[in-house]
Amino acid sequence: MARPSVNLKQLAEQLGLSQTTVSRALNGFPEVSERTRARVQEAARRCDYRPSASAASLATGRTFAVGNVVTQSDGIVIDPHFSDFIAGAGETCARFGYDMLIRMAEREAEAGVYRDFVSRRRVDGVVVHGPTAADPRIAWLRSLALPFVVHGRADDGKADHSWLDVNNERAFHRATDFLLDLGHRRIALLNGPEHLNFAADRRRGHLRAMSCAGLEADPRLMSAEPMLESYGHRRTRELLARAEPPSAVLCASTLIALGVVRALYESGLQPGRQVSVLAYDDDLSFLHPSTRVEVPYLTAMRSSIRAAGRRVAEMLIERIERPEGSPRAELWEAELVVGTTTGPVCGMARS
Amino acid sequence: MARPSVNLKQLAEQLGLSQTTVSRALNGFPEVSERTRARVQEAARRCDYRPSASAASLATGRTFAVGNVVTQSDGIVIDPHFSDFIAGAGETCARFGYDMLIRMAEREAEAGVYRDFVSRRRVDGVVVHGPTAADPRIAWLRSLALPFVVHGRADDGKADHSWLDVNNERAFHRATDFLLDLGHRRIALLNGPEHLNFAADRRRGHLRAMSCAGLEADPRLMSAEPMLESYGHRRTRELLARAEPPSAVLCASTLIALGVVRALYESGLQPGRQVSVLAYDDDLSFLHPSTRVEVPYLTAMRSSIRAAGRRVAEMLIERIERPEGSPRAELWEAELVVGTTTGPVCGMARS
DNA sequence: ACTTGTTTTCAAAGCGCTTTGAGCGCCGCC
DNA sequence: GGCGGCGCTCAAAGCGCTTTGAAAACAAGT
């Protein structure tokens, strides 16, 4: 099996046909007779013929690769949510014969990367991660005529491009309502970085729910940081040291929630008893049992980021293969999963 | 900035030079005069000229991409360790002008993916993840003459290829010694899947340390499963329900350890007091404070998987660009970081 | 002036595929 | 008998780069 690589020319010679016919036979063109097609396919399989990607790419302009640029904003943190998203997207890509290209760059260099993708013809399309308010990338990509799908929403979703987002605002509205119904009034929000739209939406959902209930949210109970376990832990310790600690904590990720839970236990408190914990759960594969028999632990608003990855890739491939079609937008609702970390407000936490 | 894409021919015409000269000027060949080179470079910059990747690739056979195949062994779990590794590798790749190609496949299809990479000329080399005992991939890749670097060790590292691994055996030997020194005798091992070499090595290190201390490891205290938080949690509850529970738990990842800690707290035990917890820590970015000022929480054997990613990518690029050079092998030592989750054995846990 | 050598430039031949435009044989239809 | 149409196949022209082999330009040595 050393070096079998046959090229089109050799295959054609072997068959006594022209390259044209062989190429057409393999690519399913109608103008080749079924008998010939079968012969060609058989020979191709026997010789393990596979067209060179770069030659095909040069001839067609297509690369069968989708780009993902990972910005290392402050020299830190590739977030684990990304890897689950990629896993989902990768499944779809594999199914359609695409590869995923990943390029890391400083945030300021991102525009350059897109131009590079286009002028060097490296990818057929890209997915845009972590949109911010008035995200400039949308305009760049449009002007470059590079197909793209946004994971999240830019321009409030009004814009004329494909996107898929979770209804973060509603998710946090509902989460807050759930806690309010349990009697909680002092609710802390441990949000992700709020220049990212998803985090801003979550904050808004939380605030809306509070004001619908006639309550004013206490700004001192709200924070926004990268979603690390240590953030949940440190912040919870701070909150518990207050004169008026919260009776419930709303977290932007399960990672944060794990830190919160750890801090609670360290302080001798039990999640779901003295302090309730509710997290947004991206259904990360490594935080969940592989078999779903066990009772959920964290109460959470859940939506699978991996499923989102799958769908976003489908949407992207559709834009690539039928650019004339109209863009699609999907807004997914997160599902409330009640676990053991929430419970009715209890005496202790009353201010 | 709409469609600037200039090609070599146009650039050459514009300069009144031949394509040859322009190409050579840009690629740093010595036989072009400095004056001409400067002129060409200036023009290239002004026109934002970038050579088409597929054309260059077709002409040279190089792709400037390194492949990573992610096997979805049982339809589940892309593990978060992978994403940190990729982040590291991505940094190096970006520095050297390479892209990372990711392809998902069923484990049985992996051989086919490598062949595809080679015959379709998709990548210049690959990194091999998660080597197992007598891993067949090594032989495949060698017979395909595709440059590769193994993250981990195959063939006990004797083989003639580049690899980078952590000394997992020593790490777990030391970790076990550390616990033994604290007086622990009943030590549970929550290992990763032991068909993977790194996990087998860790088990061996643990067993060696035990037998060096004249102790026999209790097989009922050892388990091997995918490294999920829920695994740590469930398994710890099982262990605590035993007549003779362990006084210390050794975990193959921080994720597992978080589950262990949670289970301990739920049972009213404190990590570091009644039960010690020591984990292998890949220094995953999302489980650690971004600023390192805080005291470490988990006691751990630590080695950055991200740094490993960086180095593996360097080694791979070296193999790609100088295949005649001799392969490199590196064995990294993990560092012991003492946190708050370990302490001397205490009365309660005595059987 | 004429060879010799060195530097700088070029035309043209690939790399391996797709795709255009045409050819050929054959049918049926006016 | 000529003509359009249909079914199948092909030669050749790209796609945009690199690289070979040779030529042109210039300087230096006899």
Mark whether B37 and B86 lie in a shared domain. Answer: no
* pLDDT attached to residue A351: 41
Residues forming a β-bridge with A149 = A127, A162
A53 touches strand C (CB under 7 A): no
* pLDDT attached to residue A289: 59
- pLDDT bin (cut points 50, 70, 90) of residue B2 is very low
Q: Which residues contact A14 (CB under 8 A, 6 or more apart)?
A: A43, A47
Mark whether A126 and A31 lie in a shared domain. Answer: no
Q: Are residues B121 and A297, on separate chains, in Cβ contact within 8 Å?
A: no
* Edge-to-edge order in the sheet of strand A222-224: A222-224, A187-191, A248-251, A276-281, A299-302, A335-337
Q: Which residues contact A93 (CB under 8 A, 6 or more apart)?
A: A66, A99, A100, A313, A317, B103, B104
d(CA B280, CA B227): 11
Minimum distance, in Å, between the CA of residue A216 and any CA atom of chain B: 31
Cβ–Cβ contact A293 with B under 8 A: no
Q: Which two tokens stand for residue A150?
A: 């946004």
Q: What is the CATH number of the domain that holds B73?
A: 3.40.50.2300
Mark whether B143 and B285 lie in a shared domain. Answer: no
A41 located within any domain: yes
Would you tell me which residues 166-225 of chain A have a C-beta closer than 8 angstroms to some C-beta of chain B?
Answer: none
B33 touches strand D (CB under 7 A): no
Q: How many Å apart are A108 CA and C16 C1'?
A: 38
Mark whether A299 and A309 lie in a shared domain. Answer: no
* pLDDT attached to residue A74: 52
Residue B138 dihedral angles phi and psi, to the nearest 5°? -60, -50
Cβ–Cβ contact B46 with A under 8 A: no
Average pLDDT over residues B150-168: 90
How do strand A248-251 and strand A276-281 relate by DSSP bridges? Answer: parallel
Which residues of chain B form beta strands (DSSP E)? Answer: 65-71, 99-105, 125-129, 148-151, 162-166, 187-191, 222-224, 248-251, 276-281, 299-302, 329-332, 335-337
Q: For B52-97, write each residue's pLDDT tens digit.
A: 999 999 999 999 999 999 987 654 556 778 888 999 999 999 999 9
Mark whether A97 and A134 lie in a shared domain. Answer: yes
Q: What is the CATH number of the domain that holds A38?
A: 1.10.260
* pLDDT attached to residue A78: 67
Q: Are residues A3 and B145, on separate chains, in Cβ contact within 8 Å?
A: yes
* pLDDT attached to residue B276: 98
* pLDDT attached to residue A76: 56
Minimum distance, in Å, between the CA of residue A182 and any CA atom of chain B: 22
Q: Which residues contact A213 (CB under 8 A, 6 or more apart)?
A: A177, A180
B105, B70 Cβ separation under 8 angstroms = yes
Picking from B197, B262, B206, B268, the residue whose alpha carbon sits closest to that of residue B236 is: B262
B257, B232 Cβ separation under 8 angstroms = yes
Mark whether A284 and A262 lie in a shared domain. Answer: yes
How do strand B187-191 and strand B162-166 relate by DSSP bridges? Answer: unpaired
* pLDDT attached to residue A227: 92
How far, CA to CA in Å, does A157 sit from each of A82, A161, A304? 21, 8, 20
* pLDDT attached to residue A348: 53
User: Count of alpha carbons within 13 Å of A96, Cβ hemisphere only?
Assistant: 21
Q: Is the pLDDT of residue B166 over 70?
A: yes
Mark whether A78 and A107 lie in a shared domain. Answer: yes
Q: Are residues A286 and B115, on separate chains, in Cβ contact within 8 Å?
A: no
Picking from A134, A140, B92, the residue whose alpha carbon sits closest to that of residue A126 is: A140
A23 touches strand C (CB under 7 A): yes
Minimum-distance CB partner of A79 among B2, B86, B286: B286
* pLDDT attached to residue B77: 58
Which residue segment(s) compose the domain that A265 sits in?
168-303+336-349
Q: Please, what's the b/e burial string for A136-159 (b: 16 or more CB within 10 A of its CB; e: otherwise)?
A: ebbebbeebebbbbbbbbbbeeeb
Minimum-distance CB partner of B5 among A2, A119, A230: A119
Mark whether B204 and B98 lie in a shared domain. Answer: no
Q: Is the pLDDT of residue B291 over 70?
A: no
Please report, in tens digits, the pLDDT of each residue of chain A (351 residues total). Answer: 334 578 898 888 888 888 899 999 999 888 888 888 888 999 899 989 999 999 999 999 999 999 999 987 654 556 778 888 999 999 999 999 999 999 999 888 999 999 999 999 999 999 999 999 989 999 999 999 999 999 999 887 677 899 999 999 999 999 999 999 999 999 999 999 999 999 999 999 999 999 999 999 999 999 999 998 899 999 999 999 999 999 999 999 999 999 999 999 999 999 999 999 999 999 987 776 555 556 688 999 999 999 999 999 999 999 999 998 999 999 999 999 999 999 999 865 444
B59 located within any domain: no
Residue B189 dihedral angles phi and psi, to the nearest 5°? -115, 115
Mark whether A136 and A87 lie in a shared domain. Answer: yes
d(CA B137, CA B107): 11
Q: Which residues contact A185 (CB under 8 A, 6 or more apart)?
A: A215, A247, A345
Q: Which two tokens stand for residue B114?
A: 């490598």
B1 located within any domain: no
Mark whether A18 and A146 lie in a shared domain. Answer: no
Residue A111 dihedral angles phi and psi, to the nearest 5°? -60, -45
Q: Are residues A258 and B76, on separate chains, in Cβ contact within 8 Å?
A: no
A51 located within any domain: no
Q: How many Å apart are B20 CA and C21 C1'?
A: 32
d(CA B61, CA B76): 35
Q: For B248-276, write each residue's pLDDT tens digit.
A: 999 999 999 999 999 999 999 999 999 99
Name the average pLDDT for chain B: 90
How far, CA to CA in Å, does A106 sit from each of A138, B90, B95, B247? 18, 12, 11, 46
Cβ–Cβ contact A90 with B under 8 A: yes
d(CA B93, CA A219): 43
Mark whether A118 and A198 lie in a shared domain. Answer: no
A27 touches strand C (CB under 7 A): yes
Nucleotides of C under 7 A from a protein CB: 7-21
A55 located within any domain: no
d(CA B101, CA A63): 12
Nucleotide nearest to A34 in CA–C1' terms: D8
Q: Would you list the DSSP string of A37-64?
A: HHHHHHHHHHHT----HHHHHHHHS---
Q: How many Å apart are B148 CA and D16 C1'?
A: 29
Average pLDDT over residues B173-184: 98
Q: Are residues B102 and A99, on separate chains, in Cβ contact within 8 Å?
A: yes
A35 located within any domain: yes
- DSSP letter, residue B295: P
Q: Would you list the DSSP string of A213-253?
A: TT----GGGEEE----HHHHHHHHHHHHTSSS--SEEEESS
Q: Which two tokens stand for residue A58?
A: 């040069």
A173 located within any domain: yes
Mark whether B220 and B110 lie in a shared domain. Answer: no
Cβ–Cβ contact A75 with B under 8 A: no
Q: How many Å apart are A24 CA and D6 C1'?
A: 18
A24 located within any domain: yes
Number of domains in chain B: 3
Average pLDDT over residues B106-133: 93
- pLDDT bin (cut points 50, 70, 90) of residue B32 is confident
